[in-house]
Structure 1
Amino acid sequence: MTSYRQPGVVLTDRRFTVPLDHADPAGEQIELYGREVVASARAGAELPWLLYLEGGPGFGARRFVGKQAWLARAVQEYRVLLLDQRGTGQSTPLNRQTLPLRGGPQAQADHLALFRADSIVRDCETIRPQLTGGAPWTVLGQSFGGFCATHYLSTAPEGLRTALVTGGLPSLDAHADDVYRAAYPRIRRKTEAHYARYPQDVERARRVAQHIAEHRPVLPGGYTLTPEAFQSLGILLGSADGSHQLHYLLEDAFVRTGDGHELSDAFQESVLAVLSYAAHPLYAVLHEAIYAQGKEPTGWAAERVRAEFPQFDAAAALEGRGPLLFTGETIHPWHFEVDPALRPLRATAELLAVRTDWPVLYDPARLTANEVPVAAAVYHDDMYVDTEHSLRTARTIRSLRTWVTDEYEHDGVRASGTRVLDRLLALARGEA
């Protein structure tokens, strides 16, 4: 183990070995990475552990510097483990470069089926005794991390002292179609709210989309920008300052050249930073699989359900039939055509989309009998996780206290500094 210091904290790199397939514990092993964080003044103290599970899927744990955001509150009383979930960060990462080592598309799809919440929770239970000596720990799940925390409560509640969820109470039984059928109206509301804040962006967005439709620009690194890909910049609209980011991005879209107006280099670089999945390909490859349970395939649900909402048709907007609507947290087959980080994984993604042997992730009966203190922040009209789905689940989980707020967006646990975590801890302890 390697320890080092940042302002106010001591960090230790920790590595663990876990089974690739927990149903075969003696089989192939993979490595997990976690960063331990403790307040400098309490580095030698006996402290309870808090496990942080990042959103996603496909993102490694956030790389904080010192006592940033919620971490400042956590290290007041906890030793924190920022876990890179399997396949992400430094935990045996999976991407277009490493997946071919598993074999062809079918072998890759079979491998990736072991990288959902069920396997992540089994990983956590494997490493917990090594850190806590067997004592239960507190889990803080952000977004998809909350999905994992809910699975934890369903399958291994004995490992949990407390469960804290922020923007991540999943539906227990919704098919991916149901998820996106609820999502598109929210995405439309977010776009309309953005245009109400920045009415000049209605024409700017249409002008950019028109230019893209006519020229099909290729961004640095080989990303092909299409009108549909441009629309997916709406993923920004679900965060605290995302509307402002989108506005400033559109503001700098064009530059005058000797050949007329072209998309500026600055705009192209900024768009690529938002749209590329090079740093987190599992987000795209496994996104619909996080909702899969049982024998019904996901079948590119976001693409199919989008057809039920013709107002998102870019071509219609360019013909003057309403403003161009942005989209958001939806993955489509075309992502695997325009993004060079995803193109080699297209066949693998297709196989995952038709897969029909997904384990069930949640146990409503066990959740109804839950005795672990649980607190959840539900963000009103969260663009990424449906509020009604979350509240329905909240009503199922015994001992859960819910804080519904419209003060924050989906990233409230980060954007609020220490407030959201402080509130969740108070709720779980009966202090609020």
Structure 2
Amino acid sequence: MKAINLFLFFILCTALCSRAQQPDHKKVYTSDIDHFWQAYDSIATTTDTLKQVAMMQRIYVDQGTPGLKAFMKARDYNAELWVKLIHRYPRFWKSIRSNTLSVKGQVPAINKSIDNLIKLYPQAKPAKMYFTVGGLRSGGTTTDDMVLIGTEIATADEHTDASELNDWLKNVFKNQRGANLVALNVHEYVHTQQKMSDAELLLAQTIKEGSADFIAELATKIPNNSAYMAYGRAHEQELKDQFRIEMFSTSTRNWLYNGSDNPHPDLGYFMGYVICKAYYQHQTDKKKAVKDILELNYGDEKQVEDFLERSQYYQQPINKQELIDNFEKLQPVVISLSPDINNKKDVSASLTELTVNFSEPMAKGYSISLGEGGKEHFPLSGVIGFSEDKRSFKVKMALQPGKIYDFIITGRSFSSQAGYPLKSYTIHFETR
């Protein structure tokens, strides 16, 4: 009898050890969503802010998945921030709750699409997808082998109450469709398979984003019907011609991450998608075509240019230098300063305002960066803004005698009304 009991005990221990040693093959995690709403409901039971923060920490953060921890680190989230956002945007949180909870019903479709992706690309690296509730700063990102989804943004749509939110989020929500949720998240999964090299050329950045859309479409077997795709299909020739002018620049203003100031944002995703689709269609070996797309080195300009040529998307020959030269001719420039202090060594420390004059009327955005001297040599104390004709821009200065100052007027947000970025202009001077 003792021998039988010992044998059964041995079998049980072996089974338990075997189970403990089995790798976690789960791909999609949604428990953070449930924990967030549990914390949300608990916060409503008290008006004590310190207790609310403690509840958010204990119920949401402390029970969080590795994905939530990584998202918090990447976007600087914490329990105190979530409590502030819940108080600041009550209508938004009430309206988004059901959308976030519906994600769990999409998990089988996401898993099936990832399985399809692995069939298309057997070399795929394992990755895990974490649906979290973020702090309204990102709809999704990747880090190492994790896809991190901010479900409060990713599941929002035109029906979400965005009345309390900023223009960027309003525009994002207006252009999102719930039916695209699976494709959106497979898109992010595709990014975990791509080379992490930095892409500077607009062409490289658009192919990197558009390829994720194209491969996601192959994996989901559902056409991408996002707003930028619908607009792109209806205006493809017009976009194709305009993109040709700008593709060898480093300016993304007209094409990517421009949801706050463009009625048709992120059309670069569409351009990258159609270039990748053209490449795929022109290859006999489709599995190799997928491999080529996923393994493209976006930091290698020659490789990106060769990919464009082999896609045959543009039938006419591409003269890169000619396109660069023509693009530069379209860029607005700084033509003068009032007063003219650049490169002067006897500027009065009593000067409190400076006007920057442009070659043509500008759009509403502006961007000013630190110069080589850094913050210590930055002279600006504020912004007055554009003149009525948008041909000049005035700033406030706070100067000290006998000091060197520098800063840069950049094309990151300064652009012409046609959307071409300003040529960066460095201002350097010394006070007497």
TM-score under structure 2 length normalisation: 0.28
Structure with the bigger percentage of helix: 2
**TM-score, structure 1 normalization:** 0.28
Structure whose CA Rg is larger: 2
